[in-house]
Amino acid sequence: MKKIHYILLLGSLLFLTACDTDLDQFPSNIASADSLTDFTGVLNAAYFYQHASYTPMAVMGDFRADNALMMEPPYTEFDTYGPGLTAMEDQFFGPLYTGLYKSILSANNVIENSENAVQVGEAQFLRALSYFKLVRVFGDVTVNLSAVPSVTDNEILARQSASSVYSSVIIPDFQAAISALPTTNSNGRASKLAAQGMLAKVYLTTGDFAGAKTQLEAVINAAPGAGIALQENFADVFGELNDLNSEIIYAGQISSSISDEYGFSEFWSWSGGLDTKSLEPLDSRLVAAFDASPGDLRRAVTIDSTASPKFPQTGGPDHDWIELRYADVLLMYAEALDETGASAADALAILDPIRERAGLDPLDAGSVSSVAQAIQDERRLELAFEGHRWFDLVRTGTVNAAMGETISSDYHIFPVPVSEILSSFNTITQNAGY
């Protein structure tokens, strides 16, 4: 009889050796597939396990880049580029790794067993999102597409190339989700627009700019009918009282009334300087970027003298984690237009509503030396402390230019948790440089 397992034992894929207490999880997660007809709880678990990725992605996205700084060793390893990041496994890489594989296994169960097409689409979205995060963070990763992976075939643990994960899992899953999901979905659940937007981000990451352009145009064309639009005031995008506002296309739902999957200081604490490892996280280079944009109304929302007030500490444990918002879609669309041969004026015009909201004039194509750089500069100011910066630098090949030093590509990705390597008896391997 098939069993529905929500956790990959032996780190994330050890199955039969755990003691009974390893199976005591929230939400409860063992049931006979033959007896289940409603997979809502299984799908909810797939959403829930995403929580473990939010803070690690936020820290990697901003503290690894030139937006934020660590202050306390060994966390200062985020600001250097060598093998020392392995010391941060417990707080960042381990929770992200195991949480996402739990989400994947829950999604696999829904995909294999549910007869509800929308549920299956949501599960495909979550599985694609999980693997997208995993390959951006770790590069090559273990792939499991089964609800009951073999307990004897150790080869399932072997890492698959990031390119094959994109082509055989992430892109097909997002495409399937697009076909199955409604244009919008209630209570912040995955939707067609979310799947299209995330697939566009995948295409930008893999260099398929024409594919990205197609998906982004679809989102932009459908946005008015779906009630998706930029908030009039930038500040109204953020904060617990603004969760699920009109700009949010997809966000991880967080509630202080539910025990979180992540057991450390969370993203709003890190950005606000409330974790002792970085009491003054603001990087002077981000301050300089705002100085170069005088009158920018985003400044007061994004930075103060030492930290970021973007996610207010009041209501912190109830802030949703924004995975995709409409401004991001417009910024990606400008980039896709530029990369597919549009005129500078046409590409930069897409930024106009974002800049107008920020109190800035439109960019003059004649005075911009690099359209691509202008778009990336706008992304930085608009999306700071939302976990994008480092991954944007890596995918655009601008790490060295932005960071002002030559950084080995080994350190564009992060160390695989050592516990996973040991648990797999070295079938899972470590990334070069670590």
Cross-strand bridge partners of residue 325: 248
109 in a domain, yes or no? yes
225 in a domain, yes or no? yes
Structural domain count, the chain? 1
Q: What is the pLDDT of residue 72?
A: 95
416 in a domain, yes or no? no
**From residue 69, how far is each of 62, 216, 306, 309 by CA, in Å?**
8, 33, 10, 15
Which tens digits make up the pLDDT trace of 103-153?
999 999 999 999 999 999 999 999 999 999 999 999 999 999 999 988 667
Please report which helix (H) or strand (E) contains residue 254, including its range.
none
Task: Give me the domain span that covers residue 277.
Answer: 20-400
Which tens digits make up the pLDDT trace of 79-107?
999 999 999 999 999 999 999 999 999 99
How does the average pLDDT of the chain come out, rounded? Answer: 91
Which tens digits make up the pLDDT trace of 159-214?
999 999 999 999 999 999 999 999 999 888 999 999 999 999 999 999 999 999 99
Residue 412 has pLDDT above 80, yes or no: yes
Q: Which of 60-64, 239-243, 371-375, 386-390 has the lowest mean pLDDT?
A: 239-243
Q: What is the pLDDT of residue 301?
A: 98
- CATH label of the domain that carries residue 380: 1.25.40.390
Length in residues, the chain: 434
Q: What is the pLDDT of residue 314?
A: 83
Q: What is the pLDDT of residue 286?
A: 98
Among residues 357, 354, 384, 361, the alpha carbon closest in space to that of 294 is found at 361
Q: What is the pLDDT of residue 16?
A: 26
257 in a domain, yes or no? yes
Residue 316 pLDDT level (bands cut at 50, 70, 90): confident
Residue 18 has pLDDT above 50, yes or no: no
193 in a domain, yes or no? yes
Residue 362 has pLDDT above 60, yes or no: yes
Residue 241 has pLDDT above 60, yes or no: yes
Residues 303, 290 contacting (CB under 8 angstroms): yes
Q: What is the pLDDT of residue 192?
A: 98
Angstrom distance (rounded) from CA 372 to CA 179: 32
251 in a domain, yes or no? yes
Give me the DSSP letters along 139-199. SSEE----SS--SS-GGGGSEEPHHHHIIIIIHHHHHHHHHHS-SS-GGG---HHHHHHHH
264 in a domain, yes or no? yes
Q: Rounded mean pLDDT of 406-419?
A: 98
Q: What is the pLDDT of residue 151?
A: 66
> Which is more confidently placed, 377 or 153?
377
Helix and strand tally (H, E) in the chain?
Answer: 18, 4
Cα dihedral sign, 398-399-405-409: negative
Residue 20 has pLDDT above 80, yes or no: no
Which tens digits make up the pLDDT trace of 261-315?
898 999 999 999 999 999 999 999 999 999 999 999 999 999 999 999 999 888 8
Those residues whose C-beta lies under 8 Å from the C-beta of residue 84, and which sit 6 or more positions away, are 74, 77
406 in a domain, yes or no? no
Angstrom distance (rounded) from CA 353 to CA 229: 10
What percent of the chain lies above the pLDDT cut of 90?
85
Q: What is the pLDDT of residue 23?
A: 31
**From residue 45, how far is each of 29, 77, 102, 186 by CA, in Å?**
8, 33, 8, 17
Which tens digits make up the pLDDT trace of 24-54?
344 444 455 556 779 999 999 999 999 999 9
